Amino acid sequence: MQLSRPPIQPIAPAILDALPNPPLPEAVCPRRTRQQLDLMLLAIEALDLGGAEAMLTAAKELELQGVIKNRVSFWRLRATNPLRRYSQRRPLTLTEAKALVFMTCHLARRMTVLIRQMLLVYDQLLEKQLPLEQHIRLASYLERFRAHFRSRMNPKRTAVIAYNSDEKLDQLAMSLLGQLLFCTGAAGAQRYWSSLFDGEAS
Amino acid sequence: MMIQRQYSLPNCQLVIEGIGQEGADMSGRPPISVVTHVECHVAGHDRPLMGGRDLLEGLVKAVSAYAQEYLSGIPHPAAHLKHRGIPELVQLHRIDSNLHRLTVQPHINNPTGKEQEKLYQTPATPSAQLDLTTVQLFDMVEAVDQFFADTQTLPELSLNLTPLSKRYAAAQEPIAKRALPAALGLSGLTVAAIALFYVPNPPNRRPQPIATNPALTNPLASTTPTTSPTSATNASASPAASLDPASPDSTVADSTVVDSPSASPATDGTAIADPSSSSEIDAILSTAPEITDPGKLDEIIGTVQSKLYEGWMTKPPQSFTTNLEYRVGVAENGDILGFKFANDAALTYVKETPLLDLRYNPAGATPSPVPIAQLLVIFRPDGILEISPWNSPTEQPLP
């Protein structure tokens, strides 16, 4: 006889308690938080060819399967980004957001060398006033980021229309890359987490 | 006893000298409780920042706050100004997308004025100023964080992060800019109200019964006389899918008897949209110009993946245990024009996939061949969707 299964409660791993719950009017993530979480992951995907796979592996390594069960549930979390083409009208809980923060920092830390190197190259190219396409690795990151952004974000959104040129998207990609570097630090997760709620706390 | 602590990163070195607490355990790593000298070296800048505890406190406060500002994009007052407009001893400002200016003010409202002379080795310069790149800034933040984490050096100073409250975010934009959307909305409403005032009321029309079209209803009745309750609900929920002879039941029949006569009510549509005849699909797949540009393919895969995931989520939990593989033809805008079963399970369980609901029906469209992308779509029993270009099925998909 088959028993009716009780609804599965997401199990919050202990690791998530390291991040304090911010003082918010409601215990769900504000719009800017959801947007930033997804864009940072988008930047990781553009950095790493196997980024999407690595993210699911990272969820397992960090024992976050209670929150991020599979590719679909992961996609649903990311699609709470209001800029997405197929944006999900569901709230993103603080537990889910913490899981995404840890995943981002975990993956960014693995790519610390690459991120640093690309930021240094960026500085050099700007200094010499050379086009960013000069550096193959940097150019391919920017190109992939632009492609990802354009294919997944809703072009009718005002915030997306603002990124209507390659230059503006490149700037976004570079600032995300810099922010990813800050996630690699000793207090990276805490800093990133706190910054997600800047200007939102009550 | 003099103790020195160093926090070294590739571009930044923070050196703190101080005296240990009297009576504390001097074995191992004694805690520093009084700071006598602080140095902060930054690569590429010859002169280090030098000072005492004031500099250290100002530095860690400003650097920590500015790191948060960099991450969130919302200005942190602690990185710039004290209350009442007095500048902080150490300030950080963004001067370019990749450059950050660190400034140390010469004057502090601090009674220990004698230390002032020691603070800045060159009293001639009004203030020390360093331009840091993002990587240098990060190394400085990292040195500060290591200092914060070190419980044996000034344990009373530790990382303390609190997100900024709403009023700081609101202060970012001038009131005129914030009021603009509301003003635009109000004036828009006024204009619309005035315009609509002059529009006559539409005549009250009774809904006419829709003339029954035998061509639309007959094929369903003839090809699927034993429609099960589930497919009946499917049919009513998505009339577009049910009008097509490729409703799941008939697809099974059609794939065995290619070009069966029952499969022709949709002849007005393009052949692409009609997956009933596998030979037609073959023809499309072989004749339509194929999209091979990797960038475009990536884009299309992203769109299709979002669509399929969304559709898949509305379906009941899947019962299949093997991968369902489909060869799918997709237009440039992401519309699914047609698909073929690539394995047997794909045929049996097609109703559990969203493909039938999402297939684009170009009613009355011209049959001109549009460029299509051919994709391999695999629905996996563990809820994962894999999409890759048909011609290079090894590439990994993105979520």
How many separate helices (H) and strands (E) can be counted in chain A?
A: 9, 0
Give B 75-104 residues with CB within 8 A of chain A: 76, 96-98
Alpha carbon of residue A190 to chain centroid:
15
Lowest-confidence pick of A133-147, A183-197, B36-50, B230-244: B230-244
Q: What is the largest CA-CA distance in chain B?
A: 102
Q: Which residues pair with B373 in a beta bridge?
A: B330
Q: Which of B138, B165, B302 sits opposite A151 (nearest CB)?
A: B302
Q: Is A13 helix (H, G, I), strand (E, B) or coil?
A: coil
A-to-B residue pairs, Cβ atoms closer than 8 angstroms: 149
Closest chain B residue to A75, measured at CA: B399
On whether the CB atoms of residues B399 and A57 are closer than 8 A, the answer is no
Closest CA of chain A from B132, distance in Å: 11
Mean pLDDT for B163-182 is 71
Residue range A90-116: average pLDDT?
93
Least confident range of A123-127, A130-134, B104-108:
B104-108
DSSP A2: P
The interface predicted TM-score of the complex, written ipTM, equals 0.90
* pLDDT score for B86: 64
d(CA B69, CA B76): 6
Distance CA(A141)–CA(A69), nearest Å, equals 28
Q: Which helix (H) or strand (E) holds A106?
A: helix A94-110
> From CA B156, how far away is CA B31, in angstroms rounded?
11
Q: Which of A71, A74, A186 sits opposite B145 (nearest CB)?
A: A186
**Band of pLDDT at residue B367, cut at 50, 70 and 90:** low
**Arithmetic mean of pLDDT over chain B:** 73
Bridge partner residues of B290 (DSSP): B372
**pLDDT in the model for residue B244:** 44
Q: In this prediction, what percent of chain B has a pLDDT beyond 90? A: 13
Predicted confidence at residue B282, as pLDDT, reads 67
DSSP collapsed to 3 states, B381-396: CCCCEEEEECCCCCCC
Give the number of residues written for chain A: 202
Lowest-confidence region among B139-143, B260-264, B328-332? B260-264
One-letter-per-residue 3-state SS of A134-199: HCHHHHHHHHHHHHHHHHHECCCCHHHHCCCCHHHHHHHHHHHHHHHHHHCCCCHHHHHHHHCCCC
Q: How far is B368 from chain A (nearest CA, A)?
A: 26
Evaluate if residue A150 carries a pLDDT over 60: yes
Indicate the range of A48-52, A93-97, B33-37, B170-174 predicted with least confidence: B170-174
Dihedral through CA B52, CA B54, CA B58, CA B59, nearest 10?
Answer: 10
CA atoms of B248 and B231, how far apart (whole Å): 8
pLDDT value for B116: 46
User: Which contacts qualify for B217-226: CB closer than 8 Å, 24 or more apart?
Assistant: B218/B265, B219/B243, B219/B245, B219/B262, B219/B265, B220/B247, B222/B262, B223/B247, B223/B249, B223/B250, B223/B253, B223/B262, B224/B249, B224/B250
B8 in contact with A at a CB cutoff of 8 Å? no
> Does the pLDDT value for residue B397 go beyond 80?
no
> pLDDT grade, residue B357 (50/70/90)?
confident
Residue B223 predicted with pLDDT over 50: no
Shortest Cα–Cα distance, B371 to chain A (Å): 18
What pLDDT is attached to residue B370? 77
Lowest mean pLDDT among A42-51, B87-96, B268-277, B298-307: B268-277
Average of per-residue pLDDT across B115-122: 45
Single pTM value for the model: 0.61
Q: State yes or no: pLDDT of B20 exceeds 70.
A: yes
- Assess contact for A55 and A103: CB atoms under 8 A: yes
Task: Please list every residue in chain B whose beta carbon sits closer than 8 Å to the beta carbon of residue A23.
Answer: 163
Say if residue B84's pLDDT is above 70: no
Q: pLDDT tens-digit profile of A1-11? A: 444 554 444 55
pLDDT higher than threshold 80 for residue B1: no
Share of chain B above pLDDT 70, in %: 65
The pLDDT of residue A178 is above 90: yes
Taking only the tens place, the pLDDT of each residue in A15-68 is 788 889 988 888 889 999 999 999 999 999 999 877 778 888 888 888 888 888
pLDDT, position B113: 45
What pLDDT does residue B392 have? Answer: 62
How confident is the model at residue A177, as a pLDDT? 95
Distance CA B255, CA B104 (A): 78
pLDDT digits 0-9 by tens, A73-101:
899 999 999 999 888 888 999 999 999 99
Q: Residue A128: its chain B contacts at CB < 8 A? A: none
